[in-house]
Every structure is written in structure tokens, then in C-alpha cells.
């Protein structure tokens, strides 16, 4: 088994295992999300490099937003969640930061569950997004998450 993936697993199981590794497992990119966010408190999470730059808080909110978008697309709808993208509340206290991290954990658990229940035979079918299969939707989400986790790690070091 490499990064939670076994050769005899179905494609959807491999993708679910990669999402689990990204969140808190042995992740190919070195750090997982929990490790990347470790030591980030509400004050650090709310800081940015300046006007027009995202904070760690906004990046985590953006990951939640797009994972929820993926969940919507997995049921065949081209839509977006009711939350704002890159959201950061005006009052950034510890409770609000812990709620954002809990929201990420919850969407993580829901996404893995939905992926495991997704019909394997639909993986190569078009998703609601034009010219994108469900397989591309899910692997694209992993790539998206890894990209933004890299930004989180850099911000954590720079701020």
C-alpha cells in the first residue's frame, strides 16, 4: 500500500484514500492538511501580506467552498454553495477559527463518504461542468487543494 492506495482498489476508493491522506494521512506531497495548519491560531490565520492578498483563513474557507461545489456537482448540478468564497469574518476570534476548521473537517468527511458511494461506472461520464468528467472533477479538486495548501504553508512561514 502506497499513500493509502492499494492496487486492487476501485478508482473511487483510490481517490477517497487520497483525500484522506491529504487531510490527515501519509501524503505524497510531504505534509497533510492537519500538519500544515498545526500551530495556526486565529491571529495568524487572519493575517495577510497586505491589501489584495489572501489570509490563511480565506484560503481554508476557499477550500471549503470548492469542496462543497464538488459535492453539488457530484449530484449532477452545476451550482455553487450558499457561502461566500474566500470568506473571512469581520470578528476573527478563536471560536470562529475553530468553527472554520470544524467546517473543513465536516466537508472532508462528507466528501469522502460521497466519493465512496459514487457509482464507479460514472467516473468517466461528463460532470455538470462542460468538458470535465467526474474523475477529472475529483482529481482536479485534489490538485486545487494541494496548490492552496502550499500557499498556506508559505503564508505560515512568512507571517
Is 3 a domain residue? no
The CATH number covering residue 59 comes to 1.20.120.450
Stretch (H or E) spanning 111: helix 94-117
Residue 112 covered by a domain: yes
Q: Which domain holds residue 133?
A: 11-158
Counted domains in the chain: 1
CA distance 35 to 28: 13
4 is a domain residue: no
Please count the other Cβ atoms lying within 10 Å of the Cβ belonging to residue 15.
Answer: 24
What pLDDT score does 6 carry?
Answer: 65
Tell me, what DSSP letter sits at residue 84? P
Q: How far is CA 62 from CA 14, 28, 58, 95, in A?
A: 24, 22, 6, 19
Residue-by-residue pLDDT tens, the chain, 159 positions: 555 566 788 999 999 999 999 999 998 899 999 999 999 999 999 999 999 999 999 999 999 999 999 999 999 999 999 999 999 999 999 999 999 999 999 999 999 999 999 999 999 999 999 899 999 999 999 999 999 999 999 999 999
Amino acid at each position: 500500500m502506497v499513500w493509502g492506495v492499494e492496487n486492487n482498489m476501485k478508482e473511487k476508493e483510490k481517490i477517497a484514500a487520497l483525500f484522506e491522506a491529504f487531510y490527515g494521512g501519509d501524503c505524497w506531497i510531504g505534509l497533510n492538511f492537519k500538519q500544515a495548519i498545526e500551530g495556526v491560531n486565529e491571529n495568524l490565520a487572519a493575517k495577510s501580506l497586505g491589501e489584495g492578498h489572501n489570509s490563511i483563513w480565506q484560503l481554508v474557507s476557499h477550500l471549503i467552498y470548492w469542496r462543497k461545489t464538488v459535492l453539488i456537482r457530484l449530484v449532477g448540478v452545476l451550482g455553487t454553495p450558499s457561502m461566500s468564497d474566500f470568506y473571512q469574518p469581520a470578528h476573527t476570534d478563536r471560536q470562529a477559527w475553530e468553527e472554520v476548521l470544524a467546517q473543513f473537517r465536516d466537508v472532508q468527511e462528507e466528501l469522502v463518504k460521497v466519493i465512496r458511494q459514487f457509482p464507479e461506472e460514472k467516473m468517466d461520464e461528463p460532470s455538470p461542468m462542460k468538458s470535465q468528467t467526474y474523475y477529472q472533477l475529483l482529481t482536479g479538486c485534489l490538485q486545487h487543494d494541494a496548490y492552496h495548501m502550499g500557499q498556506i504553508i508559505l503564508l505560515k512561514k512568512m507571517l
